[in-house]
Amino acid sequence: EQVVGCIAAVSSSLHVGKAGPLVHTGACIASILGQGGSRKYRMTCKWLRHFKNDRDRRDLVTCGAGAGIAGAFRAPVAGVLFALETVSSRWRSALLWRAFFTTAVVAVVLRALIDICKRGRCGLFGKGGLIMFDVTSGYVNYHVIDLPPVITLAVFGGVLGSLYNFFLDKVLRLYNVINEKGRTYRLLLAATVSVCTSCCLFGLPWLAACKPCPADSREACPSIGRSGNFKKFQCPMHNYNDLASLFFNTNDDTIRNLYSNGTDHEFHITSILVFFIASYFLGIFSYGLALPSGLFVPVILTGAAYGRLVGMLIGSQSTLDHGLFAVLGSAALLGGSMRMTVSVCVVILELTNNLLMLPLVMLVLIISKTVADAFNANVYDLLVKLKGFPFLEGHAEPYMRQLSVSDVVTGPLQTFNGIEKVGRIVDILKATGHNGFPVVDEPPFSDTPLLYGLVLRSHLLVLLRKKEFISSSTASASDASKHFSPEDFAKRGSGKHDRIEDIELTAEELEMFVDLHPFTNTSPYTVVETMSLAKALILFREVGLRHLLVLPKTS
């Protein structure tokens, strides 16, 4: 589904990247594996059962995302780092090893496929080597005099990056309003944007003047009827339209064009300006349509145009090539909108194979991220917020230090007795959406009300389904747990939850009791009500909890 949508979107020349969908595809495959295969499609596997727990599943999704990036950019190390920097909220050395293993396999397979394709067996598919934009030709040198333009580029890159996030947020809010009106509106929206994009692509090149082909061109000029860097468009022979060259290429080719050095006079400044503005806003409007799309490639592309523009405007007294400015512009915009640092660094390194630029790229990233952080949050946080996912921030806000846990606890709390009536369990499960219930032993069974532990909704549902009930609340039922195997309580795949409405119980059964003691987690994590919210947040987040019991001070 994702794959098909991606092919359709890219081929309809919308302004989207292929990295995002590939990341999503990788994560989806990993998630299916993590669920022990999809039972719906009969793809179950005994061996995969080992991964049937939350942590391993999370790891698998992370690795899948890393593999996606590694595949999309042919940048394996960047894949590992991207997975860790953005996807994973927690870090363990085992996870690092797993992610590394995944992307290493991707790299080796990719290399083998490229080797096969080199022998000309796959047509246009798989052109190019392991390095996508190999633009180093010779030694890159730079001096103190180059710093002012680079710093200027970084500062404005940060501003543009945070503006990108701001506009994206606004546009996505608008889209959300439209999308909620129904499927027809959603398709209409996508069609409208698609038509507008096409109009831009075909209309804007008319603005640019024809340029004569350079005499020492490395490839055919103009290129007609095939992929190439010099598009003829409506120009006479031996002329090319530089704006059409930018618009009518694949994203990869355009980026390569912009990155290559020694091409300072190939593009006119107005063409670059028009292309920059067009791709900046097309990128914003194309994202968030009802189709799989990524942000990475559009931002790189827009950044490359931005960098060239800055290079043309203020790079005249520096010794840097405009191609290098384009690379730095990409870094600045990535740093400004995504706010990733290490992985962007490695992506740029792996894309351009230019290690000598590393100090400049790092400098640009630091500046643009700092500038952009002053304005708003990074694009992933904005998206998570917008989509309304229940995502818990890693660090505590200052106001949380002033609040105690008891200030944010909301009721009503539903608790169960150690030996509880079936009818009451069913009522409470139907009435609330809670996923965990404290089990409290009340006075008849203990001297004072005593917290016994925490029982999960999913486990209660398994209990109710098995119908191992006891007749009275005082009967002993120590053998109830023998009827259950660990398999019964194993976590199901997503989308396959039991529902309380699906369980049918007779009136007689509703009057019976069930002993919750054997099925209760007797040592849940607890905090006292006076603990500061910030401290509880750290506990919740670092240990990766789902339920945290708050105890009164005088228990």
CB 142 within 8 A of CB 122: no
Q: Which is nearer to a copy of itself, 266 or 321 (CB)?
A: 321
CB 425 within 8 A of CB 434: no
Dihedral of the CA atoms 394, 396, 400, 404 (nearest 10)?
Answer: 60
Piece of the chain touching a copy of itself by CB under 8 A; list 91-99, 158-166, 282-290, 506-514: 91-99
Q: Which is nearer to a copy of itself, 9 or 107 (CB)?
A: 107
- Binding-site member from 107, 320, 419, 512 for a copy of itself (CB under 8 A): 107
Structure tokens at 301: 């592309």
- Binding-site member from 15, 369, 459, 517 for a copy of itself (CB under 8 A): 369
- The answer for residues whose C-beta is within 8 angstroms of residue 541's C-beta and 6 or more apart is 89, 392, 394
CA-CA distance, 198 to 149, in Å (whole number)?
A: 35
Of 380-399, binders to a copy of itself (CB under 8 A) are 394-395
| Ramachandran area for residue 360 (φ above 0: left; ψ -120 to 50: alpha; else beta) | alpha
Does 206 bind a copy of itself (CB under 8 A)? Our answer is no
Does 148 bind a copy of itself (CB under 8 A)? Our answer is no
In the complex, what is the shortest distance from the CB of residue 539 to a copy of itself, in angstroms, rounded to a whole number? 6
Does 270 bind a copy of itself (CB under 8 A)? Our answer is no
Does 345 bind a copy of itself (CB under 8 A)? Our answer is yes
- Binding-site member from 9, 80, 154, 333 for a copy of itself (CB under 8 A): 80
Of 293-332, binders to a copy of itself (CB under 8 A) are none
- The answer for residues whose C-beta is within 8 angstroms of residue 522's C-beta and 6 or more apart is 452, 453
| Strand stretches in 213-284, DSSP E | 239-241
Q: Which is nearer to a copy of itself, 133 or 306 (CB)?
A: 133
Backbone angles phi, psi at 451, to 5 degrees: -70, 120
Residue 87: name the closest of 33, 135, 19, 35 by CA: 19
In the complex, what is the shortest distance from the CB of residue 382 to a copy of itself, in angstroms, rounded to a whole number? 16
Does 100 bind a copy of itself (CB under 8 A)? Our answer is yes
CA-CA distance, 340 to 234, in Å (whole number)?
A: 41
- The alpha-helical segments, DSSP class H, found in 35-142 are 54-73, 76-82, 93-118
Does 81 bind a copy of itself (CB under 8 A)? Our answer is yes
In the complex, what is the shortest distance from the CB of residue 358 to a copy of itself, in angstroms, rounded to a whole number? 6
| Interface contacts to a copy of itself, rule CB under 8 A | 76-77, 80-81, 84-85, 90-94, 96-97, 100-101, 103-104, 107-108, 110-112, 115, 129-131, 143-144, 341-342, 345-346, 349-350, 353, 355-356, 358-359, 362-363, 365-366, 369, 394-395, 404, 450, 522-523, 525-528, 530-532, 535, 538-539, 542-544, 554-555
